Each structure stands twice: as structure tokens, then as C-alpha cells.
Amino acid sequence: MNATNPTLIVIAGPTASGKTAAAIQLAQHFNTVVVSADSRQFFREMSIGTAKPTDAELAAAPHYFINSHSVLEPFSVGDYERECLQLLDELFKVNKLVVLVGGSGLYIKAITEGFDDLPTADADIRDRLNTELAARGIHVLQERLKEVDPEYYQLVDINNPQRIIRALEVYEATGKPFSSYLTAKGNSRPFNIIKLALDMPRETLYDRINRRVDLMVQDGLLPEVESLVTYKHYNALNTVGYTELFDYLDGRVSLDDAIEQIKQNTRRFAKRQLTWFRKDKDIIWVDTSDVNLTENILAAIEKILPSA
């Protein structure tokens, strides 16, 4: 930990664990800004289904990478790494600390560590995999990924066809599993990094997820999804909370079943998020059941960075 370098404070954790509120409280405490590492909150067209910060929350602290892109624009983790590092370079000119918050482990890793050089996309392989997805469904691709790259299969959101196709594309082009490219440790950053993650009992988390989905529905998730039907073939919308309701609108399932599937798929996604973050030995876990959550987070930061 270099005392002369600025510091990036990472607030990670599964969906519905309270990351947004914790990040805002930290930003207010340190009089700094919040940078999102949530791979779905970038997109302007998706708000309710991504649990985007409310207008009041956005006003409570400056936020970046919220509503920054359109679902019509391709935006990869590599694009995010490049743009976010450029942003951090500017933010650290005026802020000694910056808060990075999100549940997308791949995007957090991109900023804190980077990757080994990922192969460039092979258009022919990608087109063939997309054709197979359309013809045979996502389950076929899920099973293939499980076979060729079981490590990444345990981590990735398996309901996101874009991620699955990218991993299979890399494997088919190189013969090496996608997970083998996620091991870079030599990409040093010109800032200190403190990683914290929010923890709670599994049953509490699942109850929060179920209640959040119910609230999303009350707040107008279905009309939001209906407004995006024209764009449902875009990768950004191949995600939990949207695909299930597209199936309802297509007459494949009832509305009640679609909502229950959203809850189930979100719980599965949270489990995978936890698996990802548990593998990171640099993360400090903070118990959210303690009423003094913010104080505990600050205490953990001060142990590492006494000047904070």
C-alpha cells in the first residue's frame, strides 16, 4: 500500500445486498464519487429491472457509468476497462479516494487486475454460435461450456448468452478455456486497491431478492420490458428480469411463472456472484446484519489505510 497513491475502494457483493447504499454513504463520508461496475446499469434503457440507483440516490453522490451507454451500442468488458481506467485517471486528479461499486466480478477484475490478452473476436465462430443459440436454445451452449470450461461455468451468469458465446468462441479459436485468460496478476495499477464485499445469511439474501423482484413488478417492470421488445435481440437485454418477461409476452409462460423464474434465476445469479467473490482472497467481508455497517466498513478501510 503506497501512501502517496490514490485509493480505489471496491464495494462488491451479490445482487440485493445493499451495495448502492453502502457506496453512497462512503462517498459522502470521504466527499468523493461513485463509479459503477454493474454490467447492466450502464444502459439507459434498462432501469427498473437492473435495480439502478434512484434519482435521490444519484443526487446523493456523483455517479459514473450509470446511464452512460445505450443497449444499441456494443460495450464489452474490454471497452469498460479502457474507459473506466481513463476516467479514474481524471478522477484521481481531484479525489484522493474513489468508490467502485458493483456485483459484476468480471468488471471489477478488469479494473483492479486486468486480464491476460484476450483473443480478438472471431466473427465466423461467433455467427455460428449465435445461429446455434437461435436454433437449439441456450441450454445446448450451457452444457458445452460446462464440458470445456467447468471453472468458468461455475462463475459465469449462465443465463447470459453473450458471456457463454464469448467463452466458447475463445475456446474454439484457441483450444484454451476462457478461464485461463482470467489469471493476470502483473497488470499493476497506479492506485491502491481496497476490496470489501457485503455478506449476509443466504436465506436473508434470498428473501431480499424475492422482495426486490416483487417491488420491481409493482414499480412497472413489465411496461419497461414491453417498451424494449423491439430491442430484445440485443445482447444487453439477454439478461435476468428481461428474458423471462419476453417469454411471457411471447406467450410461452404465464405472468406468475415469469415472475417466479425471475426470482429463481436472480437467486442462482447471486449464488454465482458469491462463488466468484469467495475466490478472491484479497476481499474483506463485512457483515451487513450489524447495525453499524458503515462504521465497520470504515474501520476495515482504516486498518489498511490509516490516513483514511
Instruction: Name residue, grid cell 474507459.
Output: 83
End-to-end CA distance of the chain: 13
Contacts 24+ apart (CB under 8 A), 164-167: 164/138, 165/126, 165/129, 165/130, 165/133, 165/141, 166/121
Strand spans (E) along the chain:
7-12, 34-36, 63-64, 97-101, 192-199, 284-287
Q: Which long-range contacts (CB under 8 A, 24 or more apart) does 89-94 make?
A: 91/33, 91/35, 91/64, 92/6, 92/191
The 10 Å Cβ neighbour count of residue 208 is: 18
Per-state percent for the chain, helix, strand, coil, to nearest 5: 55, 10, 35
* CA 13 – CA 104 distance, rounded (Å): 9
- Residue 14 known to bind ligand: yes
17 known ligand binder: yes
Whether 18 has a binding-site annotation, put simply, is yes
**16 marked as binding residue:** yes
CB 242 within 8 A of CB 126: no
Per the annotation, does 146 bind a ligand? no
Q: Dihedral (C-alpha) 31, 301, 297, 277: value to the nearest 10 degrees? A: 110
251 known member of a binding site = no
Q: Which residues are annotated as a binding site?
A: 13-20
Q: Which residues are annotated as a binding site for substrate?
A: 15-20
Q: Which residues are annotated as a binding site for ATP?
A: 13-20
